Structure 1
Amino acid sequence: MATPFGTFYSPNLTTDPENGIGRWSIEDFAMAVRQGVSPEGEPYYPSFTYPFYGDFSDQDIADLWAAFQTVPPVAEVPPDHEVGFPFNMRWGLKLWRAAFLRDPETESVEGRDDVWNRGRELARGAAHCGACHTGRNIAGARLETAFYAGNDDLPGGDHAPSIQIEHLVEQGWTVDSIVYALETGITPSGDVFGGGMGEVVQYGTSFLTPEDRLAIATYIMDPGDDLPDPE
């Protein structure tokens, strides 16, 4: 992942004991996923989207852990991140976390039905829609005042459009068309998602249950008070 801060490489997440997570405990795994901290106590770079996973339940962690245990070991050493000074100083991540790490706010909202609340849990958590569809400041943290307002400066030169309700309506989106797009990648205009969103559908949302796709679409089309007030 090429970013303004350097190039980040995915770690080995297979069960290999030397180069992967084969020696981890479930407690190590939970700390990494929820807190973004390695078994050695080192903070991970937020290119790993752990800020969205802080509210994962114990059952979520147990299910993920069980799934990762089925991955065959691969004895491959991942490349080191190519990050220059001062971003290669991991102690600086502690300052970043103190300044910008926030609760993902996936908890249920009183007065909303189960479908909407499930959509909020997924969109703001596991699906991490805001990772791409929200702009960033010079420190790489999401702009709270630009929630879902789009991002024209994604890694690799990609961009993500606004998914705020007024822009979706202008583009002809409905709950039903979002559900269909999350399954097939086909937009209301008959076009198909490309770039990062195409991969999100291909490797992610197309595998969700119909109920979860409906929940995400319901929330996206009616985020309520989660959107910031217009200035």
Structure 2
Amino acid sequence: MISEIKKSLYYLYKLSFRTVLIFWLVYLGIMGLFMILAVTAGGGIEFFGVNSLPSLIFMCIHGVIFFKDGFPFVIKYGVSRQGFLSTLFIFSIILSSIMTGLSYLFVRLINWIVELFSIENFDFVGLDMGEYVTLTDHNPIFFEWLLHLSLFILFMLVASVLYRFGLKIGGVLLAIFPISMFIRPVAEKALDLLTYFALFHDNYTPLSFLILIVGLSLLLWFSVKKASVVDQISFKA
């Protein structure tokens, strides 16, 4: 099992490293362009950026591609499904930690540049900075880490369902929850539950995320344990 995890971690690292690096370089380039435009505008136009959202969107998209490319390759090279899922969980924690850490450093870097060049019409914030810190007793950075981890596992689960069952059956299975939101009692209960995931709400508790992560991980296990290495969408291994 240990050797399987080591081999799988190395491959998953190679699968993600370049993608993560490109994302942050492109994002830095875009923010750099906005800062140049802010300086050029000379205070005539206000520029505003939020740091957490792009990295969370990246985790959603990367979760789908990551599973689609990683699962068949690792299994074909002799790694058991149990070994793959164990590696997947470990790697998810590592990747979420890296993305959250880089997100925090990114906010600090951009705001340092803004202060250095006195760019008054450019405002760039994250959950860990400014007035947001005083609105809650909880740690915003830990909240952001939980968000990264939850979304990454959720979208790997989405990819695994489509990979195993194909677009038709998989699409029907995935549509059950969104469609159930049209049932009023279900929608009201879902909205009540969401308050436990909202950082600035009194009901918020990190335990809600941990329960969600465990639940998603179990569903991912059930989806993967008998899945074929042949993609049921493209029918390619």
Query: TM-score of the superposition, structure 2-length normalised?
Result: 0.25
Query: TM-score of the superposition, structure 1-length normalised?
Result: 0.26
Higher relative contact order (CA 8 A, sep 6+): 2
Between structures 1 and 2, the one with greater helix share: 2
